Amino acid sequence: MRQYETMVLLSPELTDETVEEKISGFEKKVTEGGGEVLNVDRWGKKRLAYPIQRQRHGIYFIVTYHSEPVVVADIERDMRIDEETWRYMTVRMDEVLLRKLEKNAKSAAARERESASEGGDGDSQRRPTPASSDNS
């Protein structure tokens, strides 16, 4: 099984209940196909870079999951014929990308721990240390 990440852009006119139905339908397709949903990131309503169907906003969500390629093709076919799904993009997460993401997450956590141990108020700024001059 491979790991995938799919970003979906929906019409902003959908209710929260309808959006949740779309997300649960997505999750159901993955699990029925023998896959596993790892994470669902609900971005909510965001401004678009350009209008789509005369709308300036859209509803975004991202699903990270393990699945077989056949299941991904089936999900994309369903999104293609759904008029409320404006755009979607699925990316296969390869091993190199997964290692990079893990490394970035670890370094971000380390930076967060470091800033918390330094006081954690967020207002303290690092000041440059003056360069030593050896005028001998």
99-121 tens-digit pLDDT:
777 787 788 888 888 888 776 55
What's the residue count for the chain?
Answer: 136
What is the number of helices (H) and of strands (E) in the chain?
Answer: 3, 4
Q: Check whether 32 has a pLDDT greater than 80.
A: yes
Let me know if 121 is exposed, middle or buried by CB neighbors in 10 A (0-12, 13-18, 19+). Answer: exposed
Residue ranges covered by each domain of the chain: 2-86
Tell me the percentage of the chain whose pLDDT exceeds 70: 87
**Residue 134 pLDDT greater than 70, yes or no:** no
Average pLDDT for the chain: 87
At the top level of CATH, the class of 2-86 is alpha beta
